[in-house]
């Protein structure tokens, strides 16, 4: 296998020219997305460049504390993005979500890095950071869908919750329709995506490994492992987020604490 | 000591005093109607009876137990509750039975007594009329076999004939205590006690 062909900065800058085609389409149909696309691509370029500088440093040092600190930053960014995009109360729910993210990562990273890949050093930056990042990135997207569906469902359909609760069912039974709906809504797209992987989509990690010079056989094994890690990590993270957030979401008489859940504290 | 006691209950929303020092005593098996104009606090009172809403002062007790953090679960296990405007977003009656852990066969007699066919249990709620939904859900709640029923406007979607069938069924259960809000005179006329807010 040959090593990857480098892209020079000039050639990378040249690659932005391809955007003229979608922009021409936006202009022709008056879509109004040109400005937001330019902002998004500029942000992506700056963020990835900054991350690249940081990761170069972190990978070079390969220091346990630094690696863990970087993953913690990823968890925090993921949690606050989730809370913001789900319109949930950050003050009340940040800690439950941080605990959930951290716990899911400890379980999944320990299992896959320690027992499947069998790394001699669990916090090896080359593995620990990208794999944790892939789990957290995916978990964030699914948590946004799942938590939004759960808490929005609970707040907007209080009638069903109270109907079950007041007719003598436990809180666990009364919230179960909302949990089932939220988990299905969050995980169904991932299950559908997993079932067509390799047929319709070639996943990023596998493509990256092949471009990096690894054999497709190794790339596929890693891809299968990462899909299992992502699925397990997302599921644990979402379920734990709901379970731990529920401690704050209900009062002693098991009434929904609407003000705790939403950013609107009226 | 009465089966259900409301002692010196007060509730206000901002400057609006809904009621002050309300006292109600309900004996076991009594059928009680709470009446009053809209906005007088009928639903608020039912919400306080079920522990969804807190009073500003006063106490509510069921069978000698004062409603509070420690007793709420036990008290709710005595109650069957049917809210007003039943928009529960469920598929059909069977699903509701399943959620409430009721064997559908055990409520066929209630469904028929209310003038419905048992097949209505499997029919999507979206295809039922308001009156059919109200009767079906009432039958399901009766299937819980609780000693106390709390009903918020139980006749709101029913015609005169259906109201009489509901009255016949509920009044045949002599041990059952019913606390209801109502605007319906036929229902009110049959009640043992009328509380005007």
- Would you say A139 and A237 are in contact if contact means Cβ atoms under 8 Å apart? yes
As a whole number, mean pLDDT of residues A235-242 equals 95
Which residue of chain B is at minimal alpha-carbon distance from A159? B88
Contacts of B145 in chain A (CB under 8 A): none
CB B188 within 8 A of CB B195: no
Note the pLDDT of residue A199. 77
| pLDDT over 90 percentage in chain B | 73
Q: Which of B72, B78, B88 has the CB atom closest to A253's CB atom? A: B72
Contact B79 A167 (CB under 8 A): yes
Question: What is the predicted ipTM?
Answer: 0.85
| B84 or B28: which leads in pLDDT | B28
Say how far apart CA B163 and CA B147 lie, in whole Å. Answer: 21
Cβ-Cβ contacts under 8 Å, A170 against chain B:
73
pLDDT at site B86: 67
Find chain B residues with C-beta within 8 A of A173's C-beta: 99
Residue A125, φ and ψ in degrees, nearest 5: -55, -40
pLDDT-derived band at A5 (thresholds 50, 70, 90) equals: confident
Tell me whether residues B81 and A164 touch, CB distance under 8 A. no
Q: What is the pLDDT of residue B91?
A: 87
d(CA B184, CA B154): 9
Q: Phi/psi of residue A183, each to 5°?
A: -65, -40
User: A164 to chain B: which residues are within 8 Å by CB?
Assistant: 99-100
CATH of the domain at B154: 3.40.50.300
Please list the helix, strand and coil fractions of chain B in percent, rounded to the nearest 5, in that order. 35, 25, 40
Angle, helices A216-249/A204-211, rounded to nearest 10 degrees: 150
The larger pLDDT score, comparing residue A1 to residue B74, is at B74
The answer to whether residues A184 and A191 touch, using CB atoms and an 8 Å cutoff, is no
CB atoms within 10 A of CB B83: 21
Domain region containing B38: 4-196
Give the separation between CA B96 and CA B118, rounded to whole angstroms. 14
Cross-chain Cβ contact A167/B90 below 8 Å: no
Q: Which residues contact B74 (CB under 8 A, 6 or more apart)?
A: B65
Residue A1 clears pLDDT 70, i.e. is over it = no
Angstrom distances, CA of residue A230 to CA of A106, A129, A226? 13, 14, 6
Residue B197: what pLDDT? 83
Alpha helices (H) along chain A: 9-15, 20-29, 34-61, 64-85, 90-109, 125-156, 158-166, 171-195, 204-211, 216-249, 258-261
Give how many domains chain B has, as a whole number. 1
Query: What average pLDDT is seen over chain B?
Result: 91
Q: What would the mean pLDDT of B181-196 be, rounded to a whole number?
A: 92
**How many contacts, defined by CB atoms under 8 Å, are there between A and B?**
55
Considering only CB atoms, B89 lies closest to which of A157, A168, A254, namely: A157
Measured between beta carbons, the chain A residues lying within 8 angstroms of B76 are 165-168
Give chain B positions within 8 Å (CB) of A163: 81, 83, 88
**Res A266 pLDDT > 50:** no
Angle at A251 between CA A247 and CA A255, to 5 degrees: 115
pLDDT in tens, A87-133: 888 888 999 999 999 999 999 999 999 999 999 999 999 999 999 99
**Could you say which of A157, A168, A255 has the minimum Cβ distance to residue B52?**
A255
CB contact under 8 Å between B83 and A162, yes or no, is yes
The chain-wide mean pLDDT, for chain A, equals: 90
Tell me the per-residue pLDDT of B150-172, one tens digit each, with 9 for 90 and over: 999 999 889 999 999 999 999 99
Distance separating alpha carbons of residues B111 and A136, to the nearest angstrom: 51
Using an 8 Å CB-CB cutoff, list residues of chain B that contact chain A: 50-52, 69, 72-73, 76-81, 83, 86-90, 99-101, 141, 144, 146, 150
B40 pLDDT band (50/70/90 cuts)? confident
């Amino acid at each position: 296998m040959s090593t990857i062909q480098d892209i020079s900065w000039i050639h990378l800058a040249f690659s932005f020219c391809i955007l003229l085609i979608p922009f021409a389409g936006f202009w022709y149909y008056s879509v109004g997305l040109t400005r937001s696309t330019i902002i998004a691509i500029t942000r992506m370029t700056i963020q990835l460049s900054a991350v690249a500088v940081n990761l170069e440093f972190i990978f070079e040092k390969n220091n346990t504390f630094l690696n863990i600190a970087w993953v913690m930053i990823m968890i925090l960014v993921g949690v606050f993005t989730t809370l913001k995009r789900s319109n949930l109360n950050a003050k009340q729910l940040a800690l439950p979500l941080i605990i959930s993210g951290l716990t899911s990562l400890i379980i999944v990273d320990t299992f896959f890095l320690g027992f499947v890949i069998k790394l001699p050093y669990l916090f090896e930056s080359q593995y620990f950071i990208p794999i944790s990042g892939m789990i957290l990135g995916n978990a964030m997207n699914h948590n946004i869908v799942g938590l939004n569906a759960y808490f929005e469902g609970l707040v907007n359909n209080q009638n069903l919750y109270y109907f079950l609760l007041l007719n003598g069912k436990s809180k666990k039974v009364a919230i179960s329709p909302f949990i089932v709906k939220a988990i299905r809504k969050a995980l169904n797209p991932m299950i559908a995506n997993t079932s067509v992987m390799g047929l319709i989509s070639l996943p990023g990690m596998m493509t990256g490994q092949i471009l990096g010079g690894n054999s497709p056989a190794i790339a596929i094994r890693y891809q299968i492992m990462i899909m299992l890690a992502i699925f397990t990590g997302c599921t644990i993270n979402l379920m734990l987020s709901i379970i731990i957030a529920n401690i704050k979401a209900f009062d002693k008489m098991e009434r929904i604490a609407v003000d705790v859940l939403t950013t609107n504290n009226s | 000591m009465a089966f259900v006691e409301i002692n010196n209950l007060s509730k206000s929303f901002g400057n609006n005093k809904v009621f002050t020092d309300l006292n109600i005593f309900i004996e076991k098996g009594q059928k009680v109607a709470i009446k009053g104009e809209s906005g007088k606090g009928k639903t608020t009172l039912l919400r306080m009876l079920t522990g969804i809403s807190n009073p500003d002062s006063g106490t509510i007790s069921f069978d000698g137990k004062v409603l509070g953090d420690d007793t709420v679960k036990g008290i709710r296990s005595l109650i069957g509750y049917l809210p007003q405007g039943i928009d529960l977003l469920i598929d059909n009656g069977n699903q509701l039975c399943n959620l409430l852990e009721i064997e559908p066969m055990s409520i066929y007699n209630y469904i028929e007594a209310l003038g419905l066919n048992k097949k209505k249990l499997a029919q999507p709620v979206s295809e039922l009329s308001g009156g059919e939904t109200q009767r079906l859900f009432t039958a399901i709640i009766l299937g819980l076999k609780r000693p106390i029923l709390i009903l918020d406007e139980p006749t709101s979607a029913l015609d005169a004939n259906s109201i009489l069938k509901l009255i016949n069924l509920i009044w045949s259960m002599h041990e059952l205590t019913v606390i209801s809000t109502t605007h319906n005179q036929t229902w009110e006329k049959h009640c043992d006690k009328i509380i005007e807010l």
